[in-house]
Amino acid sequence: MPHAEPAVAVRGVSRRFGHRWVLRNVSMDVAPGEAVLLVGGNGAGKTTLLRVVSGLLRPNKGEVALGGTVGMVAHHTMMYDALTAHENLTFFASLHGLRIRARIGELLERMGLAHVANERIGTFSRGMLQRLAIARALMPEPRVLLLDEPLTGLDDAASRTVIGVLDTLEEQGVAMMIATHQLVELVGTAARVGYMVSGKLAALEQCGGEAGQVVERYRELVAGE
Amino acid sequence: MSWLPVSSAATLQAIIAIASKDLLVEQRTKTAFFSSLVFAILVLTVLYFARDKTSVGDLDLAPGALWVTFTFAGMLGLNRAFVLERENRAMDGVRLTPATPTAIFLGKVVGSLVFVGTVELVSLPVFILFYDVPIWRELPILILVIALATMGFVSVGTLFASMVVRTRFSEVMLPVLMLPFLFPPVVAAVQLTRGILAHRPLSEYSGWLSLLAAFVIIFSTFSLFLFEAILEE
């Protein structure tokens, strides 16, 4: 670990919905500037883990400690279709207590959305919405960024844009947890991969950007389950 | 999330932001406002033409007609306030900000108060026109009663709307859950309106006014404190 103090510390976290345990005793740390991929089949607990880390869900057991502000990009945009891109970001900036119009412009520019800033997001493509969702998540300059399937529905160009943004954030010291099924595309961004099986973290290993090795381990740990 | 205020300025900023956003979305879509308004005018019209004027006088029917109209038209608006948060799971985005549950609840209440108040403001002249009630001299006290009842109605309605929004038939569930709780304030508002329109002295209906005020204070506080638990899944 490059830093002594983790940006995310997950300690013995379990979460159930009704009688079904969706997370079972998950523990992991993420260092500042480190990206960890979370991979696993559907229902393995990846999304629930991200929601618990974000604070949207409370764990039934265990605890989560964060080293700073958290931002989250999920399956849904978490924004309002009837508002424009600029209005959506202005609204979330207000809730963060920010009054920085320049920052909204800078984020829209960075995500390649400046030209559609005043259009309602209900008309946006999936790729544009995903980039806007990242802009929303980056609004409070988070130290921890949680991404749930950030490349789903994106074409190659949009995927490259998003991966480029994630690489930059990593260099800037932002800790990231990325739940994905697209591990080949994202493995170059991540330092470690967490393999989740039936709510448990089956393994958390260095990946060194080697897609072949990760895919092999995925088959061994997840697909073979 | 915590009930501890981050700061009063931040809370106020969040309340204004949430209420303004709700009203801006409604101004763009206009669906709920026109639905509520058409419903209100329709109910007032139907009740007016349905009665037998020789046996039911204006003053007998008017208070009930007014509050049936306001109650059900308001419910359409309350449901809308959380349906827009369900789309794209926008409420999750709000919960990820430092805005406290208090600020979120009050922002929703303020937005719905403006919405329901506007529907009431537009339908009140229709009520006056149809029922020919001598209202002008008593208008300030009538507006006070309407404001008080609307405050209680919107507070409780905001809590219940946040509860039912995740259900499949939220439009049906909201009235089913809310109406038993609305019985005391609506009955009080009807009795107060009857007294006001009949030019009775305030002392004759002050008990109803106390009941209405007590409901507003107790249930608004109750709703505010329960809201955080509802926000959690």
Structural domain boundaries of chain B?
8-231
Q: Assess A82–B contact: CB distance below 8 Å, yes or no.
A: yes
CB burial readout A77-87, b (16+ within 10 A) else e: bbbbbbbbbbb
Q: Please judge whether A82 and B13 are an interchain contact, meaning their C-beta atoms are less than 8 angstroms apart.
A: no
- Whether residues A210 and A150 fall in one domain: yes
Percent share of chain A, pLDDT over 70: 96
Q: Please judge whether A78 and B96 are an interchain contact, meaning their C-beta atoms are less than 8 angstroms apart.
A: yes
Q: Let me know: does A215 contact A184? Beta carbons within 8 Å.
A: yes
Which residue did the predictor score with more confidence, B5 or B146? B146
- Whether residues A128 and A147 fall in one domain: no
Beta-carbon contacts of residue B173 (< 8 Å; ≥ 6 apart): B164, B167
Interatomic CA distance for residues B219 and A102, integer angstroms: 42
Q: Please judge whether A96 and B92 are an interchain contact, meaning their C-beta atoms are less than 8 angstroms apart.
A: no
Question: Strand order in A61-66's β-sheet?
Answer: A20-30, A8-17, A61-66
Amino acid code (one letter) for B204: E
Q: Let me know: does A90 contact A44? Beta carbons within 8 Å.
A: no
**pLDDT over 80 (residue A2):** no
- Whether residues A180 and A97 fall in one domain: no
Interatomic CA distance for residues B22 and B85, integer angstroms: 9
Residue A3 has a pLDDT of 53
Domain assignment present for A167: yes
Q: Which among B14, B24, B88 has the least Cβ separation from residue A78?
A: B88
- Whether residues A121 and A96 fall in one domain: yes
Cα of A221 to nearest chain B Cα, Å: 31
Residue A196 has a pLDDT of 95
Q: Please judge whether A76 and B89 are an interchain contact, meaning their C-beta atoms are less than 8 angstroms apart.
A: yes
Q: Please judge whether B17 and A57 are an interchain contact, meaning their C-beta atoms are less than 8 angstroms apart.
A: no
Q: Tell whether the torsion through CA atoms of B69, B70, B71 and B73 is positive or negative.
A: positive
Helix (H), strand (E) at residue B211? helix B202-231
Number of other CB atoms surrounding residue A93 within 10 Å:
21
Q: Which of residues 173-212 of A touch B (CB under 8 A)?
A: none
Q: Of A141, A158, A189, which one is at a domain's C-terminal end?
A: A141
Residue B6 has a pLDDT of 54
**What are the pLDDT digits (tens) for A139-152?**
999 999 999 999 88
Q: Please judge whether A81 and B89 are an interchain contact, meaning their C-beta atoms are less than 8 angstroms apart.
A: no
Average pLDDT of A171-190? 90
**pLDDT over 90 (residue B75):** no
- Which chain B residues have a beta carbon less than 8 Å from that of A74? 89, 92
Which residue did the predictor score with more confidence, B18 or A222? B18
Q: Of A141, A165, A182, which one is at a domain's C-terminal end?
A: A141
Q: Which among A72, A76, A97 has the least Cβ separation from residue B88?
A: A76
Helices (H), B51-138: 58-86, 90-95, 101-131
- Whether residues A225 and A150 fall in one domain: yes
Q: What's the domain count of chain A?
A: 2
Domain assignment present for A211: yes
Domain assignment present for A74: no
Helices (H), A111-220: 126-138, 156-171, 183-186, 211-218
Average pLDDT of A199-210? 87
Q: Assess A58–B contact: CB distance below 8 Å, yes or no.
A: yes
Domain assignment present for A53: yes
**pLDDT over 80 (residue A209):** no
**pLDDT over 50 (residue B2):** no
Q: In which band, very low, low, confident or very high, does the pLDDT at B56 lie, cut at 50, 70 and 90?
A: confident
- Listed range (A17-21, A62-66, B19-23, B49-53) with the worst mean pLDDT: B49-53
Q: Assess B93–A contact: CB distance below 8 Å, yes or no.
A: yes
The mean pLDDT value of chain B amounts to 88
Q: Assess B232–A contact: CB distance below 8 Å, yes or no.
A: yes
**What are the pLDDT digits (tens) for B196-226?**
988 888 888 889 999 999 999 999 999 999 9
Interatomic CA distance for residues B154 and B169, integer angstroms: 20
Give the β-pairing of A175-179 and A200-206.
unpaired
Q: In which band, very low, low, confident or very high, does the pLDDT at B55 lie, cut at 50, 70 and 90?
A: confident
Q: Assess B99–A contact: CB distance below 8 Å, yes or no.
A: yes
- Which chain A residues have a beta carbon less than 8 Å from that of B24? 82-83, 87
- Whether residues A205 and A153 fall in one domain: yes
- Listed range (A101-115, B89-103, B160-174) with the worst mean pLDDT: B160-174
Domain assignment present for A49: yes
Domain that holds residue A3: 1-68+143-225
3-state secondary structure of A92: helix
**pLDDT over 70 (residue B1):** no
- Whether residues A89 and A42 fall in one domain: no
| ipTM rounded to 2 decimals | 0.90
Q: Assess A168–B contact: CB distance below 8 Å, yes or no.
A: no
**pLDDT over 70 (residue B21):** yes
3-state secondary structure of A141: coil
Domain assignment present for A73: no
Average pLDDT of A163-190? 90
| Closest C-alpha to B109, from B227, B189, B215, B230 | B227
**pLDDT over 50 (residue B3):** no
Q: Let me know: does B44 contact B120? Beta carbons within 8 Å.
A: no
Q: Let me know: does B94 contact B136? Beta carbons within 8 Å.
A: no
- Whether residues A29 and A129 fall in one domain: no
**pLDDT over 80 (residue A108):** yes
**pLDDT over 50 (residue A1):** no
We report the CATH number of the domain holding residue A199 as 3.40.50.300
Q: Please judge whether A80 and B18 are an interchain contact, meaning their C-beta atoms are less than 8 angstroms apart.
A: no
Q: Which among B6, B17, B29 has the least Cβ separation from residue A82?
A: B29
Domain assignment present for A166: yes
- Whether residues A4 and A37 fall in one domain: yes
- Whether residues A218 and A194 fall in one domain: yes
**pLDDT over 80 (residue A224):** no
Q: Let me know: does A35 contact A10? Beta carbons within 8 Å.
A: no
| Closest C-alpha to B193, from B153, B126, B134 | B134
- Whether residues A130 and A147 fall in one domain: no
- Whether residues A153 and A178 fall in one domain: yes
**pLDDT over 50 (residue B85):** yes
As a dihedral over the C-alpha atoms of residue A25, residue A31, residue A32, residue A35, rounded to 10 degrees, the angle is -80
